[in-house]
Structure 1
Amino acid sequence: MTRPKAAFAIPGDLATLTGGYIYDRRLLSELRADGRDVAHVGLGASFPDPTPADMADAARRLSRFGPDCPVMIDGLAMGAMELSVLTGMAAPIVALVHHPLAHESGLAPAMRDRLYRSERDNLALAAHVVVPSPHTAALLVSDYGVTADRITIARPGTDRPMGRVAKADPPLILSVGIQVPRKGHDVLIRALAQLRDLRWQAVIVGSALDAEHAAFLARLVTDLDLSSKVRLVGRVSGEELARLYGQASLFALATRYEGYGIVFDEAMVHGLPIVTCATGAVPDTVAPQAGLLVPPDDPDAFAQALATVLEDDATRGRMADAATAAGAALPGWAATARSVGEVFDRVSARAQKAVAARR
């Protein structure tokens, strides 16, 4: 049977190293590897605060697809589209929501309200919605009016580590997340300042997408006299990141909110104990015995959890074993693509039936 064509609309640079873009990039690649004809529709980088030119360009690009071609739209664009762009599409819409736009940290109240209303109204036009976690699914049902039967959870896949790498000495605390307020790197740095007398080193990996916040983090490291122990390395290659995961003794991310958190899966696949925050999808993502979860925005509690893992060999060993077991059970990206491909098939079949009924 010939599979229907589909399209995947993604704003900005697909090579961007964030969890959402990694998900989009790997999903597109695996859908194609599974023999599906999926077009990549590049949208403007200004989403989710689009310029008039990017909005008009999106309208032109998305209007080209007919009712026989489902179009999946990444949430950065889907939640901020003008309603007229979506109602002007002939193609059935599949929304991909990594986490709701209004849940980004640091938004002004007026912007938060505007994004919430826009995303809620736009999701009502989607034939189906794909999310990476049960937490995001529940949030869309409770707060955005999306019915559960219109949602598919397609958990991110994972890649297995290639070979073993010697652990760093002193123990390496690894954090991976873009340099924006939501990732809580400032909380992690303040927590580390309380542990300066212990043996450790820390590396924070992540692109400086928010230049002002990145500068603040660099100043914070200097002001707290941590320059000899903490490195903000920005974006690194995939090979370098894999090496850091292998060298690390624990993974730490003081996040303020996650719609999923691919980095937690990566940490578990590498058998790393995890110190993070009980927020968003984190409790559903981190295996219970593999992580210590503390309240967000609490440097004291975060420092205490870090000290427990660093100083208690038995606890660290149990957590590492639990992480290894959980990581071994995680699905690969092919399974993620199969789930989304099945969504395309169902949406396409319904659309074709609707067209036939109108003839």
Structure 2
Amino acid sequence: MSAGGPAVALVHPGDIATPSGGYAYDRRILDGLSALGFAIRPLRLDGGFPLPSQSEIAAALATLAAAPPGTVLLADGLALGALPAEGLKALGRPIVALVHHPLALERGLDAATADRLLASERGALSVAKAVIAVSPETRRMLVTRYGVPAERITLALPGTAPAPRAAADGIPARLIAVGSLTPRKGYDILLDALDSLADLDWSLTIVGSPAFDPPTAAAVARRAAGFDGRIRLAGALDTAALDAAYGAADILVHPSLYEGYGMALAEALKRGLPIVATTGGAAGETVPDGAGLKVPPGDAPALAAALRTLLIAPHLRRRMADAAFAAGTALPDWPQTCATIGRVLSAVRP
């Protein structure tokens, strides 16, 4: 498939080792496309993405312009969406956009900033020769809100790596939540829900980097300290430590307000963990019916009620664990995801 194909630069903002689902996806496809024989390399853009200054935008465009002629720029939307369409056109390089989560939908933005990002993203996506979306929800959003023609979009769900099944039978139940400590992940809602579950036995491990939004991370830490040691903030974990954390858990709780896909949800399904999740964005689709309980985003009482249901009903938890594991076996693996992206890249020509 890749023989004689184009050279590819995977364009990403900042450190590609950053602990988040989007960067993990980028690392996987970088390795997977290389294994398929693509001449691919990472191309880092520095600056305050997704809200770079004008000087940082100029520097980023200069970095992209230095790529050899004919190089396909496979550009993570976290960087691409903040760059001006005219500057991207002037590069003379074919662009394939990789969209995990539209920038304008991030929580905590004021209306003016969200509108500016929406306009910038629309312009940048109009320049792309092809667009890769990581979920059906993101694909729909790109068509309806961003005006991207459906025929230019390819769906490439995140892959899942082989993983042992979790026992998911602990008493008291061990909850796990996975996601960076940012407003969109809804940890304040989760802690509100847990306030009403003090009469039950449970523990919670929160896995996620505090570096993306220090004020939110500090607020979560302050509130978690009031739960008498029942909540542990594990921070960002490497692959082995995260695998161990999943293996020790009984229920995944995912209170996110919006997800472009929800890689933690797929990882939980792969391990047979029952799930309590919101329906924010793609999350409701990522978790199939029967594999967990789903509640509206931002609804602490509903989240508390769903958690209580699973905490007091081990038989229901086991049934949902079986359904989760069955769903996890049907998820794509990373070689399948990379092959899908590889076909898009092979079809792109300068």
TM-score tier (shorter): over 0.9
2:130 and 2:153 mapped to 1: Cα distance?
6
Offset at residue 123 of structure 1 (A):
0.7
Q: Which amino acid aligns with 2:187?
A: H
Indicate the residue corresponding to 1:175 in structure 2.
177
For each residue in 1:154-212, what CA deviation from the matched residue of structure 2 results, as whole angstroms up to 9, or x when unmatched?
00000111576796553210000000000001111111111111111001110012100
Indicate the residue corresponding to 1:248 in structure 2.
249
2:83 and 2:269 mapped to 1: Cα distance?
36
Offset at residue 85 of structure 1 (A):
2.3
Indicate the residue corresponding to 2:313 in structure 1.
312
For each residue in 1:21-46, what CA deviation from the matched residue of structure 2 results, as whole angstroms up to 9, or x when unmatched?
11111111111011111121111141
Structure 1: gaps (5+ residues): 352-359
Q: Which amino acid aligns with 2:153?
A: I
2:166 and 2:272 in contact (8 A); partners too: no
2:167 and 2:250 in contact (8 A); partners too: no
The answer on 1:264 being equivalent to 2:265 is yes
2:123 and 2:61 mapped to 1: Cα distance?
17
Q: Which amino acid aligns with 1:247?
A: A
Indicate the residue corresponding to 1:11 in structure 2.
13
When normalised by structure 2's length, the TM-score is 0.95
Q: Classify the secondary structure of the residue corresponding to 1:289.
A: coil
1:253 and 1:276 in contact (8 A); partners too: yes
The answer on 1:215 being equivalent to 2:214 is no
1:203 and 1:51 mapped to 2: Cα distance?
37
2:259 and 2:283 in contact (8 A); partners too: yes
1:289 and 1:323 mapped to 2: Cα distance?
8
Q: Which amino acid aligns with 1:210?
A: D
Q: What are the within-5 Å matches in structure 2 for residues 20-169 of structure 1?
A: 20-65=22-67, 68-162=70-164, 169=171
1:65 and 1:90 in contact (8 A); partners too: no
Give the counterpart of 1:185 among 159, 184, 187: 187
Indicate the residue corresponding to 1:357 in structure 2.
none
TM-aligned CA distance change 1:163 to 1:252, over 3 Å:
closer
2:76 and 2:47 mapped to 1: Cα distance?
12
Percent of aligned pairs sharing the same letter: 44
Q: Which moved more, 1:230-239 or 1:19-28?
A: 230-239
For each residue in 1:51-74, what CA deviation from the matched residue of structure 2 results, as whole angstroms up to 9, or x when unmatched?
334322211121133553211111
Offset at residue 221 of structure 1 (A):
2.1
Q: Which moved more, 1:225-234 or 1:286-295?
A: 225-234
Indicate the residue corresponding to 1:354 in structure 2.
none
Q: Classify the secondary structure of the residue corresponding to 1:41.
A: strand
Q: What are the within-5 Å matches in structure 2 for residues 331-346 of structure 1?
A: 331-346=332-347
Q: What are the within-5 Å matches in structure 2 for residues 283-322 of structure 1?
A: 283-322=284-323
1:45 and 1:252 mapped to 2: Cα distance?
33
1:127 and 1:150 in contact (8 A); partners too: yes
For each residue in 1:59-105, what CA deviation from the matched residue of structure 2 results, as whole angstroms up to 9, or x when unmatched?
11211335532111111111110233202211111011111111000
Pairwise CA RMSD: 1.5
Offset at residue 328 of structure 1 (A):
1.0
Indicate the residue corresponding to 2:198 in structure 1.
196
1:12 and 1:42 in contact (8 A); partners too: yes
Q: Classify the secondary structure of the residue corresponding to 1:287.
A: coil
Structure 2: gaps (5+ residues): none
TM-aligned CA distance change 1:164 to 1:79, over 3 Å:
closer
State the aligned residue count.
347
